C-alpha cells in the first residue's frame, strides 16, 4: 500500500461531509462592499446590510435561540461555531441560492455545515421584523419563517445521530412561525397551505411519515414533499401545542424508543398509550376542529442592541468568510479564488491554512490537504478536520514501516492518539477520528484504562464501523472482558477491515 492510499480513502469520506446538511449548493457571490461583523453569545454574524439591520437580526436570532431552549430543550450536544451571513440585496442571495439534485431551491435561507463550522445564510429582506410571523406559505418566503426553520436544523445539529426526517422537519416547520414579543415566544401559528391541504384531502395515517428519510421521494419530490411536511407539522403541532399536557413527554418517549430507526405498532402504543388507529382519529378531530392551539414560553434574553458592536471587515476577512461558505456549498471555483487571495495575504494565518486544506480535501488532493493542515496545526489550529487529517496521515506514515507483529513506537502512538482525541473533543459527533483512533489502539504499545470508553463512544456515533467494533473487541479482551469481546468480534469479518488492522484481528479472533 503506497503512502496516502488509506489516508486518501479517509479524505474522500471527510469530503462527503461538506456537502451541506440540507442542500448541495451552487453559490455565487456579488462583488464585496462594506461588510461588517458582530458576535453574540451564540453566533457570529456578517453582512453588507449595515449595522442597525444586523443588530436587529442578531437580537432576533438570539431570542429565538433562547425560545427554542424554553420550548423544546437545551440545544443538544456540542454545536459547531455558526456564522450567519445576511445579504443586503435579495438579488445577491438569489444568485447564491442553492440547487438540490439539479433543481433550484425555493427556500429563502440555507443551512450548511461540515466538521468544523456551520453557516446560515439569507437575504435581509426575508428577515423584515415589521412583518408578523406565521403567514408563510409552502414555497414562498414571508418574514422570518425560513430563517427560523434553518435555525432549528442548526440547533439540532449537535445530536449524535441525525433526527428522523419527520421530527427534523416537523419541529422546524412548527417553530418557523414563532412570534417573538415582549412576553416571550408564541409557537403554533398555522401554516395556511398545510391546513388547507389537510382539510381538503384529510389526514393520512400518521405512521406513513415515520419511514420517510432524507433520501425518500416523499422528502425530495416537490409534488410529494408538501404532504410530508404538512403531516409532520400537524403531528408535532398536536403533540406540542395541543390540549394534552402529556403530549411533549409522549413525543420524547417515542423518539427514545425509535432511536434505532425502527418503528412498530408496539413502540407507538408504549409511547402514546393507544394504537395508531385511535391516535389517527384524535389527530383528525383536532385538525377538523380548525382550532389550533398556540403555546407561549418566556424568553429570558437580556442583551441590548446597543451592546452589540459591529466591526468592519477587511477584504481578506471577507474572502476567508465567504470563501469557506462557498466551499461548504460546493462552489469550488469561486471558493478557490477567495481562499487563494486570503492565503496569499495571510500565509501564516491558521484560518487561511485551514481553508486551503479544506479546499484541497474537496478537490481530492490528499497530499496538499495534509500539507496545509499540518501547517495549520503548527500555527495553532485545533480544528477537527485539521487534527483528523494531520494525525491520520502521521498514523498512516508510521504504519508503512511497521513489522507485522510490531506495535507503534510509544512517542508516535501518544502523538497520534492525543491529536485524534483532541479532534473528537472539538467535535464529538463525527465518526472519522474515532475510526482512525480504533486503528491506533489496535497497534498501541500499551493499554490505557479509558481506551474502551473512547471506542464505545465512537461505536455509538458510528454503529456500522467494523474497525471500531474490532478494535473495541480487542481492547475489551485485554481488559479481561472475554464474553463481551467475543460478541463484538463475531459480527466482524477480517476482510471488512483496513490492512493495518486485518491481520491482527484475524489472529485475535482465531485465538478466542
- Which pLDDT tens digit goes with each residue over 446-482? 989 999 999 999 999 999 999 999 999 999 999 999 9
User: What distance in Å separates the CA atoms of residue 262 and residue 196, rounded to the nearest whole number?
Assistant: 31
Domain membership of residue 254 (yes or no) is yes
pLDDT digits (tens, 9 = 90+) for 351-367: 999 999 999 999 999 99
Looking at the fold, whether 44 and 147 belong to one and the same domain comes out as: yes
Q: Which of 157, 152, 251 is nearest to 210 (CA)?
A: 251
Inside any domain, residue 136: yes
Domain boundary at 243, 278, 293, which? 293
Reported in sequence order, the residue ranges of 226-354 that DSSP labels E, i.e. its strands, are 295-297, 311-312
Same domain, 323 and 177: yes
Query: Is residue 391 within 8 Å of residue 373, measured between CB atoms?
Result: no
Q: Considering the domain boundaries, does residue 376 fall inside one?
A: no
> Rounded to whole angstroms, how far apart are CA atoms 44 and 61?
11
DSSP string, 43-61: EEEEESS-HHHHHHHHHHH
Average pLDDT of the residues in 71-75: 85
In a shared domain, residues 89 and 126: yes
* 90, 138: one domain: yes
| Sequence-distant (≥ 6) Cβ neighbours of residue 34 within 8 angstroms | 48, 50, 312
Do 146 and 213 belong to one domain? no
Structural domain range at position 78: 20-162+172-181+300-329
- From 413, 438, 449, select the one nearest 498 (Cα to Cα): 438
Query: Are 144 and 33 within one domain?
Result: yes
Q: Which of 293, 321, 345 is the last residue of a domain?
A: 293
Identify whether 438 is part of a domain.
no
pLDDT tens digits for 271-301? Answer: 999 999 999 999 999 999 988 999 999 998 7
Q: Decide: 169 and 48 in contact? Cβ < 8 Å.
A: no
Strands, DSSP E only, in 157-243? 179-181, 184-187
pLDDT tens-digit map of 20-36: 444 333 333 444 569 99
Whether residue 370 is contained in a domain is answered as no
Residue at 360 is within a domain = no
Does 127 share its domain with 269? no
* Percent of the chain whose predicted confidence (pLDDT) is above 70: 88
In the numeric block, the cell 482512525 is attached to 436
Q: Would you state the cell numbers that stand for residue 465, as one nine-digit string?
A: 464501523
Same domain, 196 and 320: no
pLDDT the model gives residue 415: 97
Residue 416 lies in a domain: no
pLDDT of residue 231: 96
Q: Check if the beta carbon of residue 346 is closer than 8 Å to that of residue 352.
A: yes
One domain, residues 281 and 138: no
> Pairing state of beta strands 82-87 and 43-47?
parallel
The verdict on residue 58 lying in a domain is yes
Q: Let me know whether 112 and 177 are in one domain.
A: yes
Residue that is last in its domain, among 329, 346, 375: 329
Same domain, 93 and 225: no
Same-domain status, 145 and 221: no
The C-alpha atoms of residue 240 and residue 291 are separated, in whole angstroms, by: 14
Total structural domains in the chain?
2
Amino acid at each position: 500500500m503506497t503512502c496516502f492510499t488509506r489516508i486518501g480513502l479517509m479524505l474522500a469520506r471527510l469530503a462527503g461531509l461538506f456537502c451541506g446538511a440540507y442542500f448541495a449548493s451552487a453559490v455565487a457571490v456579488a462583488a464585496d462592499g462594506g461588510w461588517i461583523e458582530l458576535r453574540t453569545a451564540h453566533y457570529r454574524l456578517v453582512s453588507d446590510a449595515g449595522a442597525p439591520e444586523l443588530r436587529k437580526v442578531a437580537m432576533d436570532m438570539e431570542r429565538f435561540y433562547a425560545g427554542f431552549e424554553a420550548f423544546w430543550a437545551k440545544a443538544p450536544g456540542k454545536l459547531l461555531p455558526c456564522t450567519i451571513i445576511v445579504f443586503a440585496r435579495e438579488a445577491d442571495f438569489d444568485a447564491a441560492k442553492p440547487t438540490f439534485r439539479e433543481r433550484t431551491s425555493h427556500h429563502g435561507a440555507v443551512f450548511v455545515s461540515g466538521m468544523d463550522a456551520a453557516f446560515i445564510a439569507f437575504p435581509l429582506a426575508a428577515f423584515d421584523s415589521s412583518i408578523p410571523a406565521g403567514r408563510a406559505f409552502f414555497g414562498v418566503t414571508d418574514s422570518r419563517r425560513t430563517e427560523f426553520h434553518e435555525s432549528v436544523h442548526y440547533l439540532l445539529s449537535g445530536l449524535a445521530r441525525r433526527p428522523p426526517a419527520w421530527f427534523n422537519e416537523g419541529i422546524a416547520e412548527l417553530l418557523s412561525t414563532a412570534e417573538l414579543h415582549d412576553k416571550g415566544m408564541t409557537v403554533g401559528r398555522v401554516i395556511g397551505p398545510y391546513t388547507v391541504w389537510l382539510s381538503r384531502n384529510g389526514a393520512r395515517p400518521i405512521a406513513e411519515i415515520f419511514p420517510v428519510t432524507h433520501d425518500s421521494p416523499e422528502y425530495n419530490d416537490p409534488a410529494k414533499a408538501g404532504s410530508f411536511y404538512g403531516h409532520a407539522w400537524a403531528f408535532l403541532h398536536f403533540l406540542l401545542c395541543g390540549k394534552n399536557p402529556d403530549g411533549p413527554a409522549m413525543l420524547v418517549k417515542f423518539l427514545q424508543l425509535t432511536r434505532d430507526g425502527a418503528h412498530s405498532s408496539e413502540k407507538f402504543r408504549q409511547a402514546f398509550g393507544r394504537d395508531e388507529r385511535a391516535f389517527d382519529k384524535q389527530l383528525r378531530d383536532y385538525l377538523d376542529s380548525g382550532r389550533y392551539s398556540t403555546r407561549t414560553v418566556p424568553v429570558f434574553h437580556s442583551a441590548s442592541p446597543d451592546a452589540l458592536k459591529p466591526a468592519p471587515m477587511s477584504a481578506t476577512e471577507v474572502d476567508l468568510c465567504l470563501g469557506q461558505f462557498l466551499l461548504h456549498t460546493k462552489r469550488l471555483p469561486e471558493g478557490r479564488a477567495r481562499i487563494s487571495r486570503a492565503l496569499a495575504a495571510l500565509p501564516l494565518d491558521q484560518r487561511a491554512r485551514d481553508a486551503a486544506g479544506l479546499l484541497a480535501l474537496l478537490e481530492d488532493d490528499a497530499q496538499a490537504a495534509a500539507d496545509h493542515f499540518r501547517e495549520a496545526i503548527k500555527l495553532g489550529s485545533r480544528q477537527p478536520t485539521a487534527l483528523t487529517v494531520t494525525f491520520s496521515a502521521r498514523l498512516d506514515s508510521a504504519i508503512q514501516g511497521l513489522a507485522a507483529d510490531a506495535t507503534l513506537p510509544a512517542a508516535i502512538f501518544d502523538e497520534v492518539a492525543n491529536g485524534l482525541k483532541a479532534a473528537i473533543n472539538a467535535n464529538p459527533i463525527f465518526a472519522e477520528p474515532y475510526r482512525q483512533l480504533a486503528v491506533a489502539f489496535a497497534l498501541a504499545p500499551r493499554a490505557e484504562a479509558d481506551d474502551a470508553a473512547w471506542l464505545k463512544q465512537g461505536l455509538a456515533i458510528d454503529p456500522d464501523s467494523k474497525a471500531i467494533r474490532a478494535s473495541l473487541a480487542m481492547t475489551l479482551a485485554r481488559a479481561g472482558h472475554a464474553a463481551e469481546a467475543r460478541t463484538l468480534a463475531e459480527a466482524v469479518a477480517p476482510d471488512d477491515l483496513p490492512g493495518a488492522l486485518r491481520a491482527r484481528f484475524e489472529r485475535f479472533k482465531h485465538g478466542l
